[in-house]
Structures are given as C-alpha cells and as structure tokens.
C-alpha cells in the first residue's frame, strides 16, 4: 500500500495526499478503526513533507473521515469506510442498458456522425470541419472583456440567472436584430445554448398536429437528426442556385400539411446558397398561405464576402408573428461559448422560456455576460472585419482551386465557411472519399445532408481551418482521385 501515489505538479500537494487517503478509505482499502501511519511515516512513504501530511490529516479529520486519539494517533472513521468487495458482490447487477434505452437514445446514437464519421489521422488534410479558425480569435480582447465584466459584477453573474437570458445581452441582440430590419413590435428574445438548443426547444414545444416538417433538401444534418429524434417526418424541397424551388415548395404544400418549415436562407449548409430577396418574399407568402410557421436559421448570415446584403426572412414578414429567427455566435465568433438566441412572437417566447427553465434553467450567465461585454466594447466588429477578410481570401482560393483541379459538374457556395460540389449522377463521393483518404485528404460526402437518401454524387468542402498550401494540395489530390474514377 502507499506505493501507487503519483504527484501532479500543478495542484497543492496536501490536497493530493488528502484525496489519495480519501480514496483508500472510501474504496475499502483501509478498514474501520485502522490506525494510519504517523505523519512522519506517511511523509516518507509518499515522499512529501511531514507538514503536508499534517495538513492532509487535518482536512480528513474535519470531513470526519478519520478521528484522532490523543497520544495514540489517527484512525479510520468506521462510517467512512466504503463497501467491502464481499458486500459489493451481493448487490452487484449488470444492467443491459440497451434494453432500457428509448427510441430517442437509439436514433441519437445511430445518427451520431461524430462517432461514425470520417476520422482524421495526423498529417491528413481535412476539409470536414466548418468551425471557425481559432487562430483568428482575439484572446487579448476576450480576456479584457472577461476582466471588465468580472470587476463590474462577477459575484452576480456567478449566481443563478434568468431562464430568458442575461438582460444586457438580450437588449443588445434586440438592437442588433432591429438593425437587420426586423420589426420588433410584439417580439421577444430567448437566449439559448447555441442554435441547436433553440431548435430542440422549438421542436419540443410544437404540437405534432401533422407530425411533419418541411425543409430544404439538402440541409443541416443536426437539424435533420433532431427532427427525427422528436418523431417528425421530413419533407425536403430541392434547392436551386437562388434558393428553395418555389414550384416544388408549392407542390409539397399542396400535397401535405406541415407543423413547421425549417429554412436556412443565407450561406446554407451544405450548399452555401443564398436565397434571393424575391424568393424569400415568395416562399414566406406561400408558407403563410398554407398556415406553416417558419424557423429561420441565420447562423452564417454575417459571412458575406461579395454581393449585396439580403434581409433575413423575419425582416420580410413585417408585423406577422409566424417566423421564428434562430441566431448563433458559433460561426461568426466563438462556438465554445454555446450562445445563440431565438427571436419570435412574445407569447411564444414566454412559453419557450418556461420550457428552457424546465430543461436547463438557463444558459451560463458567466458566458453570456462576458460575451455581452465583448460585444459592448466593440471587439466583435473588429474581429469580424479581420475574420471575414481572412475567410474571404480562403474562400476565393478554395473556389479557384476547385475550378482548376476538380472536374465537378457544379460548384456552389456564395459565402460562409464551406463549398458544395456536385458530380454526374452516377458518381459516388463515398468511393471518392475512400480513394482520397489513401492520398491523405478527407471531406464530407453529401448523403448525410439529404432528406431522401440522395446526394451520393455530392460533397461538402469546409475550408475555414485548412492552411492555404493544404487547400491547394488537398483540392489537387481530390481532383486526381476524381479523374482516376471517371
């Protein structure tokens, strides 16, 4: 005993000794009323100072794990001793958890592409990510924002906050959305843990009158997964170079009723397509005529490198209350903060606040408040300018390389952090991936984004975290592999 103690360098030594002894007691390795080594002995055994053991024993005594008998030494408190192996054997029972899991857990596991997805090995060029490049994060300004907010109200933001969100951040976002042309009358905001929680809260709260959701085909894989987890059937409507096909949308609406339409009008994932202003108006009008509320996903909206600004759908709706806008700081700033928002009808938000409170109480107030300070100080505008300049450069390089090296039939992506490639109908991008993997390059085959099992001739290339020379090398290798397969 006492031979397996290993010191970490960055934690107070007496706490490590205390935790070590605590483990021996609670795991039953030390017995009730067993005498512990003296402080000098244990110090020698563990190769720490005697004073360190004195401090550790004092804490163990305070926690009632050991007791002292004057003149005799330290002993293990009987009630602190964990179950013996024999006792543990009596209560042991191996649950077959698979039998206890429901459909939601099973579907979530089956659809978990992070587990089943393409693994990147060391040295591989990976076009699979569409996360921001952390090398662009301005750590000094984030640190400043953190210290500013902590000195102003650190004690308050470390306590419980409000389910609806941190008030200064909500007010900031209301102004932000107003600047995008949204009529705020009758609307309110709920802060969420990114877009994904916003979607989950909306889906959890919807009445499944028709049990069906309409979306673009292809679309965001996480959204499709969540529709399935919530038991909704999915109808995908094809996208054209200027957004959803209005004829096909009209046809789908005439054939079935829907509880919700999920649309990503700007720099859509995976196609990167921007829906034109005219189509936004026409699609919103069609959906309104058929009584289908819209969930608009504006996640990428700020990442525009050319063309003119197109107002979000919710800004086209005027005073109507049928559009829910979901925003997120995951692509345009820091995904690790997990902060997003829902802007929607006041009465709806009031219900969603209660759903949020019931599920997670609230989004971390510390994260929200530091983000608010960062935004308030004007750091976001500066960061976005720099990040956009860098992404625009990479975007243009990636487009140029795709045109030069990859003989695809169609390339789309008007902005954002990814491009989408389509090949001839019979072409199989999964087979292409296998061949590219051997050449040290990976990307995301398009099938996971499709609602109808299609898209086997498509692929998504995320370029945000790929170095310039790797964009060139990687697209060249993909192009060579395509030619070999043709």
Q: How far is the CB of 201 from ligand PLP (least distance, A)?
A: 12
Q: How far is the CB of 200 from ligand PLP (least distance, A)?
A: 9
Report the site for ligand PLP in 91-150 (rule: CB under 6 A).
130
Q: How far is the CB of 268 from ligand PLP (least distance, A)?
A: 7
How far is the C-alpha of 142 from the C-alpha of 121, rounded, in Å? 32
Smaller CB distance to ligand PLP: residue 65 or 263? 263
Helix locations, 101-193, DSSP H: 103-110, 113-116, 139-157, 167-178
Smaller CB distance to ligand PLP: residue 161 or 194? 194
Phi/psi for 147 (5° steps) reads -65, -40
DSSP symbol at 361: S
**From candidates 14, 57, 166, 195, binder to ligand PLP by CB under 6 A:** 195
HEC sequence for 281-296: HHHHHHHHHCCCCEEE
Q: How far is the CB of 128 from ligand PLP (least distance, A)?
A: 12
Report the site for ligand PLP in 201-260 (rule: CB under 6 A).
220
**From candidates 37, 168, 211, 335, binder to ligand PLP by CB under 6 A:** 335
Query: 367: Cβ–Cβ under 8 A, 6 or more apart, which residues?
Result: 337, 338, 339
Q: How far is the CB of 147 from ligand PLP (least distance, A)?
A: 26
**From candidates 299, 379, 391, 405, binder to ligand PLP by CB under 6 A:** 299
269 near ligand PLP (CB under 6 A): yes
Q: How far is the CB of 144 from ligand PLP (least distance, A)?
A: 24
340 near ligand PLP (CB under 6 A): yes
Q: Tell me whether residue 41 is exposed, middle or buried, using C-beta atoms within 10 angstroms of its C-beta: 0 to 12, 13 to 18, 19 or more.
A: middle
Phi/psi for 212 (5° steps) reads -140, 140
Residues composing the chain? 486
Phi/psi for 375 (5° steps) reads -70, -45
How far is the C-alpha of 370 from the C-alpha of 148, rounded, in Å? 8
Of residues 425, 368, 444, 389, the one with CA closest to residue 190: 368
Spatial contact of 125 and 466, defined as CB atoms under 8 Å apart: yes
303 near ligand PLP (CB under 6 A): no
Q: How far is the CB of 246 from ligand PLP (least distance, A)?
A: 21
330 near ligand PLP (CB under 6 A): yes
458 near ligand PLP (CB under 6 A): no
Count of residues binding ligand PLP (CB under 6 A)?
A: 13
| Of 20-28, 192-200, 254-262, 446-454: span binding ligand PLP (CB under 6 A) | 192-200
Strand ranges of the sheet holding 294-297, from the earlier edge strand across to the other edge:
187-192, 340-345, 323-328, 294-297, 260-263, 212-217, 233-240, 243-244
Smaller CB distance to ligand PLP: residue 328 or 412? 328
Which residues lie near ligand PLP (CB under 6 A)?
130, 194-196, 220, 264, 269, 297, 299, 328, 330, 335, 340
């Amino acid at each position: 005993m006492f031979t397996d103690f290993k010191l970490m360098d960055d934690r107070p030594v007496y706490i490590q000794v205390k935790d070590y002894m605590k483990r021996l007691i609670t795991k039953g390795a030390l017995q009730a009323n067993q005498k512990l080594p003296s402080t000098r002995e244990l110090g020698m055994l563990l190769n720490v100072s005697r004073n360190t053991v004195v401090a550790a024993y004092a804490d163990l005594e305070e926690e009632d794990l050991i007791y002292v008998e004057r003149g005799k030494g330290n002993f293990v408190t009987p009630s602190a001793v964990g179950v013996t192996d024999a006792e543990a054997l009596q209560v042991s029972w191996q649950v077959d958890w698979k039998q206890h899991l429901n459909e939601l857990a099973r579907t979530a596991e089956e659809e978990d592409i992070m587990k089943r997805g393409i693994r990147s090995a060391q040295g591989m060029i990976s076009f699979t990510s569409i996360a921001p490049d952390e090398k662009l994060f301005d750590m000094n300004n984030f640190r400043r924002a953190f210290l500013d907010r902590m000195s102003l109200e650190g004690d308050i933001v470390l306590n419980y906050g409000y389910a609806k969100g941190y008030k200064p951040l909500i007010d900031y976002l209301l102004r932000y959305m107003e600047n995008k042309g949204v009529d705020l009358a009758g609307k309110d905001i709920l802060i969420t843990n990114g877009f994904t929680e916003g979607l989950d809260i909306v889906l959890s709260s919807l009445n499944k009158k028709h049990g069906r959701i309409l979306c673009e085909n292809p679309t965001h894989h996480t959204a499709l997964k969540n529709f399935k987890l919530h038991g909704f059937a999915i109808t995908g409507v094809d996208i054209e170079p200027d957004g959803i096909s209005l004829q096909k949308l009209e046809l789908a609406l005439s054939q079935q009723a829907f509880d919700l339409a999920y649309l990503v009008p700007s720099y859509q994932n995976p196609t990167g397509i921007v829906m034109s202003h005219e189509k936004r108006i026409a699609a919103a009008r069609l959906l309104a005529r058929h009584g289908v509320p819209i969930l608009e996903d504006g996640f990428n909206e700020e990442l525009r490198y050319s063309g003119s600004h197109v107002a979000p759908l919710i800004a086209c709706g005027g005073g109507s209350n049928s559009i829910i806008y979901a925003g997120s700081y995951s692509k345009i700033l820091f995904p690790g903060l997990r902060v997003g928002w829902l802007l929607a009808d006041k009465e709806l938000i009031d219900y969603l606040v209660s759903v949020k409170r019931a599920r997670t109480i609230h989004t971390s107030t510390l994260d929200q408040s530091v983000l608010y300070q960062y935004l308030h100080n004007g750091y976001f505008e500066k960061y976005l300018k720099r990040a956009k300049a860098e992404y625009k450069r990479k975007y243009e390089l990636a487009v140029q390389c795709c045109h030069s090296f990859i003989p695809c039939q169609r390339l789309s992506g008007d902005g954002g952090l990814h491009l989408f490639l389509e090949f001839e109908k019979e072409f199989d991008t999964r087979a292409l991936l296998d061949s590219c993997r051997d050449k040290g390059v990976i990307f995301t085959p398009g099938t996971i984004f499709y609602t109808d099992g299609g898209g086997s001739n498509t692929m998504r290339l995320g370029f945000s975290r790929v170095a310039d020379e790797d964009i060139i090398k990687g697209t060249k290798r993909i192009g060579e592999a395509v030619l070999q397969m043709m």
